[in-house]
Structure formats: C-alpha cells, structure tokens
C-alpha cells in the first residue's frame, strides 16, 4: 500500500492500493479493530474502472477510502470480510469486474438469463436499449435428498409486499435453507443520477426508498456539501437533526403496527398504525409534507420551519400514547410468545455479514453513525443508543421501542436549542469533485459517495442502503427455523426491497 494519501473533498483519506494487497490490507484492518463499510466501482475514464473500498479505523475512527485499478481480475476479499461479498457480486454484474476466488460467484443483481451488451453501468451502454433476457435456471444449491422439498414463494406475494422471490428448501415445517432472489424491479437509481445537477438530484435521492426519503436526501446533500466545502448554517443543521428524528419516529411506529399484524394482534396493529398516522400529521403540520419531502437542498433547507411550543405539546401527547401502547405490547403474552427466541442473529454473524441499525444493535453491536461519526447537529445533542444482546425478534422490537423514546427526547432538545439565523447558503458542486455523506436512517447506516464530471454534473453516485446490508444478513436467521415463524421473523427485520434494489 502506498504511504502517500490524498484527501477527497469530503475530508476522507484516499489511499492508493495495489489489487494484490487487498486481502492482506483487509485482514490487517479487521485484526486492528477497524471495519469495512462498503465497496463500489466507477469509471474514472472511459473504459477504465476504479474500485473504492470504504472503511473506518475503529468504531469512531475517521473514514478512509482505498482506491485501486480494476483493469484485470481482482482478488476477492469476501472470504475475509463476508459483508463485502454482495458488493463484489454487484460490481461484477454492473461493471463486469472479475473477482478471483469469490466463495459465491453467482449473479446477484442480474438474474440468470440476462445478457447485457456491455456492463449496465458502463457509460457506453446504448440508451433506450432493453437488456436482452432469456429465462434460465441457475444459482440455486443442489439438493441430493428426496425428502427435501423446494417452495418458490413470489415474486408476487399477498397484500402490498414488494416483489421478491423467496425459495425455501424444507422438510415438513423445518426450513433448511432460504435463498432470497431480489432485484426483480431494479430501478437503476444510481444510473439515473448520471448527468444531473446536484440541485436537481435531491428529488431523486428522496425517492430511492420512500420510507427513508429524508435520510437519503440528507446523506446525498451532505456528500455534495463536503465535496464543495460549503458550511451549512447552524439553524439548518439543528433542524435537519430534528426532522431526521421525526422520520425515525413514524418509521418505528409503523414497524410495531406491522409486526403486530404478523403475530395476529389486530388491536396492536391498529393502534400502532394510528400512532404512525398521528406522527405523520405532525410532520405535515410542521413542514407541509407528511413524509418530510421537498425540504432539503445542498447548503441547508429550502425554507425555514417553526417547531414552536405547539410541537412540544403535540409530541408530549404522542409520547404518553406511545408509552401506553408499548407497555401493552410488552405485556401481551400471545405477542411475546411469537417473538422471543424467533430469528436469533448471533453477534458474530451480525459483525461478519454487516448487520446495521436496530438489527445490529439488537445483537449487541453498539454502533450508530449519529454518535460515532456525528453529522448535522448530532454532535451537540446527547444521544442514547439502545442495545440488546439476545438477537431475537423481541430484542429487535425492544431496540425500536427504546429508540422512539430517545428520538422524542432528542427532538425536544433540538427544539429548545434551535438557534436563530439563515437556513441556507449557496452550494455549487465543483468540477471533478467527489464527496462522501452519511446518515443513520431508521433502518441503519446509509452512505452516498458522489463523483462530479468536468461541468459539475454528477457522473457517479453510489448508494449504500441499510436494507442492502440487512437483506444479506436475514437468511442466516431463517436457516434451521420453521415455516410458522417465517413471516414474523421477516417483519421483525423491517426490510424494504426498494431500499435494496435501488
């Protein structure tokens, strides 16, 4: 590895590394207590792919970015750092990079039978040309025993569940293996950013995943701001933290209601979704948008909002209602019996496979970007980070209940500390700039890495979403479980397909 480091506009150290050195470098980082976050590829020049590896030195250590050429085969590090396995497969599908020695070389994003004329994210891919496809089998484990049955479930499922095919291998009610096939409706969101201005792309970021639109837009805006070196006004930073917690609030309330639906606790479902609706009505009164859209812009906020005493009163009433609701959930045996010991995720698996957000914290991972890598105004706000160790569905519920209480306290603190002043400064993305932005979304760690072209428009945007990580982790809690618990286990993860498929 070269000892000469650069710095991106985001203040993230850029370190050149030879591809052959990657396995050793990853091993050394993990042994020293560091952690890899993601990897991605981009076209540094026509026909020239460069790989990027984002990591951190210790829980609260600075982020760094390794960069290396991918003009030929690159050694896989998935066996050393399993959480990078899906990223390597994604890069292979979308950029055509070969990773030698990958333990699971099957396709991930492109289904078997897809035959792209050139890699889909190559700028040379012909516009308005459909990806050639011929149905084909492949990618599934071979089963030797005649007693093992195979059940393909999906991609069209009941209710309004997003498209995903879940292939179960089972004996009786006992699930031996789950193979999730996602990316049926891959929208090419990262591709859609290409050629857009930073200002116009905020609207796109808000729509990558509807239930986390504010967090996505916030991470994107912060990437642009760090690339351009602009300083967001203090009032806008505090309001950003307040609004991000309002998004977390309605997400967690919806989660509790939906999980109650899977345990057939109908009153609990209705009450949870009623509380979610009340939280969204507060959002609408404060900002004009129940989903907190059309507020963020690189440089701050599009307009000021006034979280006056009325907001404190509304949230105090909501807090009392949530406390009663949570207490009733935690004292309903028929509900708890379906959650306790269901879908256990051991801490070691959570670390290796990249669990994030409430999923990781329910398995003993004390990690939260708001505290460990503060952004917006989180460095000025005391933050409680709930952690559990049992790793089951009940632990995942307890973490979210505690996070609701922590978010309500944080919102009130932000409201009382809100400074006066402007909420926006001009922020222009320079040519050939790059930046990194992050946010702790309701579902976990979210990163945006951006690269600008010579005219300041975007030429590459990489989105690391929490559901991409947690969908990878989820099957490890399904193997060796039973069919009756499956729907409850999936609901306890709070996964979104849109956030994964992007």
- Residue appearing with tokens 């990558």: 208
The string over 473-489, giving b where at least 16 C-beta atoms fall within 10 Å of a residue's C-beta and e elsewhere, is bbebbbeebeeebbebb
Q: What is the pLDDT of residue 136?
A: 74
CA atoms of 31 and 187, how far apart (whole Å):
38
CATH architecture of the domain 6-100 equals 2-Layer Sandwich (3.30)
What does the pLDDT look like over 424-455, one tens digit per residue? 999 999 999 999 999 999 999 999 999 999 99
- Write the CA distances from 18 to 3, 26, 117, integer angstroms: 12, 12, 29
Q: What is the mean pLDDT of residues 164-173?
A: 90
Dist CA 329 CA 278 (whole Å): 19
Which residues of the chain does CATH 3.30.460.80 include? 6-100
pLDDT band at 232 (very low <50, low <70, confident <90, very high): very high
| Span of 86-95, 149-158, 244-253 with lowest mean pLDDT | 149-158
Predicted local distance difference test score (pLDDT) of residue 61: 79
Per-residue pLDDT of 193-218, as tens digits, reads 999 999 999 999 999 988 899 999 99
**What does pLDDT average to over the chain?**
92
Could you tell me if 435 and 225 are in contact, meaning their C-beta atoms sit under 8 angstroms apart? yes
Residue 488 predicted with pLDDT over 90 = yes
pLDDT digits over 25-74, tens only? 999 999 999 999 999 999 998 889 999 999 998 777 789 999 999 988 99
Whether 7 shows a pLDDT value over 80: the answer reads no
Residue 32: CA count within 13 A, CB half-sphere? 13
Instruction: Please report where in the chains the tokens 């050694």 appear, as a residue.
Output: 75
- pLDDT score for 128: 78
pLDDT tens-digit map of 352-405: 999 999 999 999 999 999 999 999 999 999 999 999 999 999 999 999 999 999
Q: What stretch(es) of the chain map to CATH 1.10.645.10? A: 192-494
Rounded to two decimals, the pTM is 0.94
**With contact defined as beta carbons under 8 Å apart, do 113 and 135 qualify?**
yes
Q: Which fold has domain 192-494?
A: Cytochrome-c3 Hydrogenase; chain B (1.10.645)
pLDDT exceeds 50 at position 290 = yes
pLDDT score of 112: 83
**Mean pLDDT, residues 136-158:** 80
pLDDT at 10 over 80: no
Give the mean pLDDT of 302-311.
Answer: 95
Instruction: Tell me the mean pLDDT in the region 252-269.
Output: 96
The answer, yes or no, to whether residue 341 has pLDDT greater than 50, is: yes
Q: What does the DSSP 8-state code read for residue 365? A: -
Question: Whose structure tokens read 């209602």?
Answer: 321
Cα–Cα distance measured from residue 247 to residue 403, given in angstroms and rounded to the nearest whole number = 12
H helix intervals, 56-197: 85-95, 189-192
Q: Determine the pLDDT at residue 11.
A: 64
Alpha carbon 436 to its chain's center: 15
């Amino acid at each position: 590895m070269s000892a000469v480091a650069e710095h991106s506009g985001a203040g993230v150290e850029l370190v050149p590394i030879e591809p052959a050195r990657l396995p050793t470098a990853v091993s050394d980082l993990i042994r020293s207590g560091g952690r890899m976050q993601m990897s991605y590829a981009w076209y540094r020049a026509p026909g020239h792919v460069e790989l990027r590896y984002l990591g951190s030195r210790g829980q609260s250590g600075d982020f760094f970015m390794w960069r290396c050429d991918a003009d030929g085969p690159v050694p896989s590090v998935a066996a050393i750092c399993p959480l990078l396995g899906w990223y390597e497969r994604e890069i292979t599908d979308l950029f055509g990079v070969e990773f030698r020695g990958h333990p699971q070389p099957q396709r991930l994003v492109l289904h078997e039978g897809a035959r792209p004329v050139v890699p889909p994210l190559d700028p040379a891919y012909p516009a308005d040309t459909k990806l050639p496809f011929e149905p084909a089998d492949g990618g599934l484990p071979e089963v030797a025993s005649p007693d093992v049955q195979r059940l393909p479930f999906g991609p069209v499922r009941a209710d309004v569940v997003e498209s995903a095919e879940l292939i179960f291998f089972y004996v009786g009610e006992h699930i031996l293996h789950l193979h999730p096939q996602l990316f049926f409706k891959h929208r090419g969101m990262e591709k859609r950013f290409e050629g857009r201005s930073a200002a116009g792309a905020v609207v796109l970021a808000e729509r990558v995943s509807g239930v986390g639109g504010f967090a996505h837009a916030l991470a994107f805006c912060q990437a642009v701001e760090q690339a351009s070196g602009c300083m967001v006004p203090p009032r806008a930073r505090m309001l950003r933290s307040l609004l991000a917690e309002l998004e977390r609030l309605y997400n967690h309330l919806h989660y509790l209601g939906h999980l109650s639906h899977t345990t057939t606790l109908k009153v609990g479902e209705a009450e949870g979704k009623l509380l979610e609706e009340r939280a969204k009505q507060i959002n609408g009164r404060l900002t004009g948008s129940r989903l907190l859209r059309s507020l963020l812009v690189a440089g701050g906020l599009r307009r000021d909002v006034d979280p006056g005493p009325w907001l404190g009163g509304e949230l105090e009433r909501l807090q009392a209602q949530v406390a009663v609701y949570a207490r009733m959930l935690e004292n309903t045996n028929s509900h708890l019996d379906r959650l306790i010991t269901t879908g256990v995720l051991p801490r070691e698996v959570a670390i290796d496979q990249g669990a994030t957000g409430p999923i990781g914290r329910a398995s003993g991972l004390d990690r939260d970007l708001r505290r460990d890598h503060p952004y917006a105004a989180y460095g000025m706000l005391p933050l409680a980070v709930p952690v559990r160790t049992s790793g089951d569905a009940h632990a995942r519920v307890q973490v979210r209940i505690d996070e609701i209480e922590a978010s309500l306290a944080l919102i009130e603190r932000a409201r009382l500390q809100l400074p006066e002043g402007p909420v926006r400064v001009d922020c222009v993305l320079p040519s050939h700039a790059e930046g990194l932005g992050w946010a702790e979304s309701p579902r976990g760690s979210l990163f945006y890495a951006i690269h600008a072209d010579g005219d300041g428009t975007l030429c590459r945007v990489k989105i690391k979403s929490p559901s991409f990580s947690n969908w990878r982790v989820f099957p490890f809690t399904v193997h060796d479980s039973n069919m009756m618990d499956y729907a409850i286990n999936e609901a306890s993860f709070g996964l979104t397909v849109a956030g994964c498929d992007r």
